[in-house]
Amino acid sequence: MSIVSLSTGEPTCTLEDLKAIAGANNFAIKPGSTNETAFLLFANAFDATCEAVSSLPEYSEPRLQPQAVEGGERKYYKPDQAENPLNAWAHKTTLRLPNVKGPLSGRTIAVKDNVSVAGLPIGLGCSPKLLKDGKHPTSPIDATVVSRILAAGGTVKGTATCENLSMFALSYTSDSGVVHNAWLPEYATGGSSSGCGALVSIADVEQARKDGKDARGYPLGEGVDLAVGGDQGGSIRLPASYSGIYGLKPTHGLVPYTGIAALNPLIDHTGPMTRTVEDAALLLTVMAGWDGIDPRCSPETPMPSAVPDYLHDLQSWITTKEKAGEWTPQAAAKGLRIGILKEAFEVFGLDPAVSEAVKKAAERFSSLGAEVKEVSIPIHKHAASIWTIAARPMMPHNVNGNPPDLLSYTMPYLQPNPVDQTYFDTLANRNPAAVNVLMNAAHMQHKYGPALARKAHMHVWELRAAYDKAFEDVDVLLTPVNPTVGPRHPSGSVKSEQNPDGVSQRLMDLFEPAIGNTLNTCGFNVTGHPAMSMPVGWGKVKDGEGRLPIGMQVVAKRWNEASLFRAARSWEVGGRWMDS
What's the CATH number of domain 89-579, 3.90.1300.10, 3.30.360.10, 3.40.1440.60, 2.130.10.10?
Answer: 3.90.1300.10
Containing H/E element for 311?
helix 310-323
Q: Where are the domains of the chain?
A: 2-54, 89-579
- Whether 192 is catalytic is yes
- pLDDT of the chain along its 580 residues, tens only? 344 444 445 668 999 999 999 999 999 999 999 999 999 999 999 999 999 999 999 898 999 999 999 999 999 999 999 999 999 999 999 999 999 999 999 999 999 999 999 999 999 999 999 999 999 999 999 999 999 999 999 999 999 999 999 999 999 999 999 999 999 999 999 999 999 999 999 999 999 999 988 767 899 999 999 999 999 999 999 999 999 999 999 999 999 999 999 999 999 999 999 999 999 999 999 999 999 999 999 999 999 999 999 999 999 999 999 999 999 999 999 999 999 999 999 999 999 999 999 999 999 999 999 999 999 999 999 999 999 999 999 988 888 888 888 999 888 899 999 999 999 999 999 999 999 999 999 999 999 999 999 999 999 999 999 999 999 999 999 999 999 999 999 987 777 766 777 676 678 888 888 999 999 999 999 999 999 999 999 999 998 789 999 999 999 999 999 999 999 999 999 999 998 7
At residue 337, the 3 state secondary structure works out as: strand
Catalytic residue among 5, 171, 192, 493: 192
Q: CA 551, CA 535: separation in Å to the nearest integer?
A: 4
Q: CA 126, CA 168: separation in Å to the nearest integer?
A: 12
How far from 5 is each of 20, 50, 201, 310, CA to CA, in Å? 18, 11, 60, 59
Strand 547-556 with 476-480, pairing: antiparallel
- How does DSSP assign 267-302, residue by residue? T-EEEEEESSHHHHHHHHHHH-S--SS-TT--TTSP
Q: Which amino acid, one-letter code, is at 296?
A: R
How far from 163 is each of 113, 304, 492, 551, CA to CA, in Å? 9, 31, 16, 20
Containing H/E element for 479?
strand 476-480
Catalytic residue among 92, 112, 157, 321: 112
- Whether 132 is catalytic is no
111, 154 contact by CB (below 8 A):
no
Contacts of 565 (CB under 8 A, 6+ apart): 277, 280, 281, 310, 313, 314
Q: What is the pTM of this model?
A: 0.95
- Number of neighbours of residue 446 by Cβ within 10 angstroms: 8
Catalytic residue among 127, 174, 201, 235: 235
